[in-house]
Structure 1
Amino acid sequence: MKTKNFLGLTFLSLTIILCLMPKLSSAQQNTVKFNLLPLIGKTFSFEYERMVAPKMSVNASVGFRAKSSLPFKKYFDDLIEDENFTSDATLDHFTFSPEFRFYTSKNGTGGRGFYVGPFFKYGKYNIATNYPYETDEGNTETVPLKGGIGTWGFGFVIGSQFKLAKSVFMDFRILGPHYGGASGTISGKMDLSPQEQQYLREELENLQNDIVDIETTVDAQGASLKAKSPWGGIRAGLSIGYRF
């Protein structure tokens, strides 16, 4: 984990250094953007791009999602393989993604045309659910589980940015695969009898699969799950921006 944190801090430090480089001669150095694609998943994403050389820039993205039901539920069902966990789950999150951009086309000066570059992505996901278990009387009750999962990953992006009108730009992030890791803890408090503990323990152990490594603890005061897994995905975007 220390290595992961070091790599992330190194990447962010390089980003800050580039931002402090001498200003270019061109008047318009900055672009603020709003990414339209994440709205599909109820996420708001904003970006800021700063030119640091004629064909090189630093871009930073911030995204956040208010607490609501799971987006793309089938993906989580396939990952967790237990509908008891996902059926009543809610999610909110925050993400931060700094990236370098190298504009390769002839008109790339000033942040226009085709670009490529590396990026780092950090995410903090808060999840809550009511997990069912059987009581001593044979009734079905639920234990409230909630917690946070941190994710990180490195990737490579390709895209194209073009001018729509004076000071108005469209940024099309075509493909941005990334890979890293995820870890977190989810827990819930509830008084449980020995029999209820055993039943809940057996149910929670069903969450274990080949992708997610889960350590389950159940006692008289409730339950907790520590999870660790690989983490990957694909970034894409269609952002409208204003340059100044």
Structure 2
Amino acid sequence: MIKSLLIVVFCLATSIAHGQFNSEQYRKNAIKSNIVPPLLSATSEISYERLLQPNLSIVAAIGANLRGNLSDFVLNPSADLRFLNRDIKNRYFLTEIRRYIDFCGCDHIPLHGFYAGGFVRYNSLSISSDLQFGSNSTNLDTKIALDFRSFNFGPMVGYQINLNNWLIDFEIGGLGYSPNWINYNTSSALSNSDLDKLSDALSRNFGIGGNYKEIELNSSSGETSFWYWTFRYAVSIGYSF
């Protein structure tokens, strides 16, 4: 009963919005900005959506950090190791395919309503930082550089509101599989004790469990790869034209 009532309410709302839309020009394009990344880091994201059919669209987005000392991956200090003078460059490219769903059989409003689809994202993150082990403030002669690459993809769902051509896009899904690759080098070889501290810190900050524990560093450089499950979420505000 409740489910049927919700469907009826949704159909009524869609019909009212469609009546308003008929008097306006048919618009197939939209520019949007994701407001979530700036709240969590210094990263900004802008996207472009193009309607291919009345219920099918494609989205392309680009994101980048604005300040080099902040990013989606902020290296937090620990009691035994600190990351000083961080310089972080974060760039990513995203594409989505969306199919808008008309639950009640009404004429569907373009760029409005529930949608489902899939996404692909490529992320490039470069970090360089001075390392300070323990409380010795003079121990700044070790520098680490990391090149982090990730490739995310998976399904996603969401809901987009169209209010007089202004858009509010809630992406409430996006569980995806993410293989990753990382290359790193330091300005000097690390001792086993220092390597343990570095491995612990990177594991905690990147949220990948004990993958760095597998690194056996006998010199000042190395590489590794890993994967983990990801969850994409976004709240975007934009305008259709």
Could you say what secondary structure the match of 1:140 adopts?
coil
Give the distance between the partners of 2:80 and 2:168, measured in 1 at CA. 40
Question: Residue 147 of structure 1 aligns to which amino acid in structure 2?
Answer: L
Give the distance between the partners of 1:153 and 1:69, measured in 2 at CA. 21
Give the distance between the partners of 1:129 and 1:38, measured in 2 at CA. 23
Give the distance between the partners of 2:170 and 2:63, measured in 1 at CA. 17
- Contact 2:84/2:132 (CA < 8 Å) preserved in 1? no
2:64 equivalent in structure 1: 64
- Contact 2:80/2:133 (CA < 8 Å) preserved in 1? no
1:172 equivalent in structure 2: 170
**Post-superposition, which runs of at least 4 consecutive aligned residues in structure 1 deviate over 3 A?**
69-73, 80-83, 85-90, 106-109, 139-142, 208-211, 213-219
Deviation of 1:56 after TM superposition, in Å, equals 0.6
Give the distance between the partners of 2:43 and 2:107, measured in 1 at CA. 32
Unmatched tracts of structure 2, length 5 or more = 1-24, 204-208
Could you say what secondary structure the match of 2:95 adopts?
strand
Deviation of 1:227 after TM superposition, in Å, equals 2.8
* Cα deviation 1:20-60 (Å, max 9, x = unaligned): xxxxxx84211111111111111110001011111111011
Deviation of 1:163 after TM superposition, in Å, equals 1.4
TM-score, length of structure 1 as denominator length: 0.70
Give the distance between the partners of 1:81 and 1:229, measured in 2 at CA. 24
Give the distance between the partners of 1:147 and 1:202, measured in 2 at CA. 20
Unmatched tracts of structure 1, length 5 or more = 1-25, 191-196
Could you say what secondary structure the match of 2:27 adopts?
coil
* Closer/same/farther in 2, CA of residues 159 and 143 from structure 1, 3 Å limit: same
**Are 1:233 and 2:233 an aligned pair?**
no
Deviation of 1:116 after TM superposition, in Å, equals 0.8
* Closer/same/farther in 2, CA of residues 174 and 189 from structure 1, 3 Å limit: same
Structure having the higher strand fraction is 1
Give the distance between the partners of 1:235 and 1:178, measured in 2 at CA. 8
Give the distance between the partners of 1:104 and 1:54, measured in 2 at CA. 10
2:154 equivalent in structure 1: 155
Question: Residue 65 of structure 1 aligns to which amino acid in structure 2?
Answer: N
What fraction of aligned residue pairs are identical, expressed as a percent?
A: 21
Could you say what secondary structure the match of 1:51 adopts?
strand
Question: Residue 231 of structure 2 aligns to which amino acid in structure 1?
Answer: I
* Closer/same/farther in 2, CA of residues 37 and 104 from structure 1, 3 Å limit: same
TM-score, length of structure 2 as denominator length: 0.71
Question: Residue 144 of structure 2 aligns to which amino acid in structure 1?
Answer: L
Q: How many residues get paired?
A: 200
Bigger mean CA deviation after superposition, 84-93 or 177-186? 84-93
Question: Residue 203 of structure 1 aligns to which amino acid in structure 2?
Answer: D
Question: Residue 117 of structure 1 aligns to which amino acid in structure 2?
Answer: G
Bigger mean CA deviation after superposition, 170-179 or 113-122? 170-179
- Contact 2:83/2:130 (CA < 8 Å) preserved in 1? no
RMSD: 2.9
Deviation of 1:170 after TM superposition, in Å, equals 1.3
Give the distance between the partners of 1:186 and 1:27, measured in 2 at CA. 51
**Are 1:30 and 2:29 an aligned pair?**
yes
* Cα deviation 1:80-118 (Å, max 9, x = unaligned): 999626566443211111111010134544121011111
